[in-house]
A and B are shown apart, each in its own frame.
Chain A
Amino acid sequence: MALLEASNVVAGYGETEILHGVSISVNKGEIVTIIGPNGCGKSTLMKAIVGLVRVRTGAVRFRGVDISRLEPEQTVRSGLCYVPQSDNIFPSMTTRENLEMGAFVRRDDFRHRIDEMFELFPDLKRSARMKAGRLSGGQRQMLAIARALMLDPVLLLLDEPSAGLAPGLIHTVFERIRGINETGVSLLLVEQNARESLRMSDRGYVLSGGDNQIEDSGPALLNNPEVGRLYLGG
């Protein structure tokens, strides 16, 4: 059984329907990447999975339980954490406070988890007392990911983690993502840097116009001439 299974998800904003029945799945231990043109609904799909956008029809099952009607707060408790594409930190709070917020639902002593995050992202340790709004773009992204990891999630959803970063940094981010995956966290990514992302993915989906277009393994998608032409820049 897949860890996360979204089937025929229909969702949108107001009267406009953005997703017209999208199905994806993530198995335990996998990295799965979603690619697709701008505005095709990738972020909307992620928001629908975590419960920020209402799922109108279809189902989202996480560890066998339907989570499509849950509040985001409850989804988070079940071990599914999410890093939005933008505005993914609390800018007026310090780095450390951001991490504490990440652990909001934890009742145990989570200080060791903060230390682990500082080990994983040493940059954050140096800026622990700095306001997150003053961090660089790369540090912000690291902080956003670390915040989501505070709960030891089973599945992590990352919406364009490399967006807007310098090329050198992009590579570091992917390195970290792979590292996170090696600790046993399954990952669902949305990525513009499709090549690099697909290269490390077990599987990938191409989304277009609110519908599934293609599903295949990461390398197969990379080698698919049509995908290459349309979404990988030749």
Chain B
Amino acid sequence: MGFLPFVKLGLVANGIIFGSVIALGAIGLTLVYGILKLGNFAHGDYMAFGAYVAFYIVDGLLPRAGIEGAGLGPFTFGFPVLIALPLSAIVVALGAIALDLLIYRRLRQRGASTAILMMASLGVAIAIRGLVQLIWSGDTQHYPRESRQVYHLPMDVRIPPDGLFVAIVAVILVAGVYMLLTYTKIGKAMRATSDNPSLALVTGINTKHVVWWTWGIGGALAAIAGVLLAVVQAQLLPIMGWKFLIPLFAAVILGGIGNPYGALIGALVVGVSMEVSTQWINPSYKPAVAFAIMIGVLLARPHGIFGDSQ
């Protein structure tokens, strides 16, 4: 680890936090990509929508029930965000399933090409962003917050408590997805469908359920990723999801399309690289760094860092 002395450990820590948000988005994206053969350009906007649904719950619904607050323990946000997190996940999961029934299922039944599916997802992405802007305006918003002290660790590492929260939520959810995919019948069926859709069909796997579960998990993870992104960035913007697409896809491609474990590693690599790069280059180039990593991977290992190099 000879380069480590030159790298600020604090940036690595930030990168891991940022990478865990990317991971939650990328795992859902790669599942959808592998199982439905759809590079979902609306995935970032599912995230943004989730963040805004949570904002509505925290800012609009709960205060009416008398539930308000910020600065829960060491965190900037309050208890309402913890309530909004699962609720928003459910809303986006159901929304993702509904959009499949409304749009993608029809296209699949017609035998539409992947380009058509992606095109439709672009339309969905644009529509969601328009809707978010229409409802909540294009201005910056944020969850109610109180400022908090950051943790000071040795070697000049400073971690905001919010970041720790984000990382812990991500670890729990990733572990949950792992258990689901490894041990449950539907999880195995999802992997089988991702591996070989037509064989899954003639094996008798209920691909309809697989599709629902895939969107459900992907949508829920996207919503949570969106809320966590809004927490770490301390703001919500309608464009936040679209902007997040490059790191998301970079992580998915890095890990190999359809491989959720690969997406996790890919997300951490992308997240850490983006943060560490700011030591040398202008931080606003972070998305370009993610893009450069993606192009580098496509050059060196076209099937992802874990993929067969055939």
Contacts and interface: CB of A to CB of B under 8 A. Distances in A.
Contact of A52 (B188, B192, B198, B204): B198
A151 B201 CA distance: 14
Contacts of B191: 90, 92-93, 97
B201 A72 contact: yes
Contact of B202 (A76, A90, A92): A76
Given A97-B188, A101-B188, A72 B195 contact: no
A100 B199 CA distance: 14
A217 interface: no
B205 interface: yes
Interface in A51-88: 52, 71-73, 75-77, 81-82, 84, 87-88
Given A90-B195, A90-B196, A93-B195, A73 B188 contact: no
A90 B34 CA distance: 13
B59 to A, nearest CB: 43
Given A100-B188, A101-B189, A52 B201 contact: yes
Interface residues of B, number: 19
Contact of A73 (B194, B199, B207): B207
Contacts of B259: 92
A31 interface: no
Contacts of A84: 198-199, 202
A50 interface: yes
The secondary structure that dominates the B interface is: helix
A93 B202 contact: no
B202 A104 contact: no
B64 interface: no
Interface string B206-220: 110000000000000
Interface in A131-161: 147, 151
Interface in A75-124: 75-77, 81-82, 84, 87-93, 97, 100-102, 104-105
25 contacts: A50-B202, A52-B198, A72-B201, A72-B204, A73-B201, A73-B206, A73-B207, A75-B202, A76-B203, A81-B202, A82-B202, A87-B196, A87-B199, A89-B196, A90-B195, A92-B191, A92-B194, A92-B195, A93-B191, A93-B192, A97-B192, A101-B189, A101-B200, A101-B205, A147-B203
Interface of A: 50, 52, 71-73, 75-77, 81-82, 84, 87-93, 97, 100-102, 104-105, 147, 151
4 closest A-B pairs by beta carbon, nearest first, are A76-B204, A105-B204, A90-B195, A72-B202
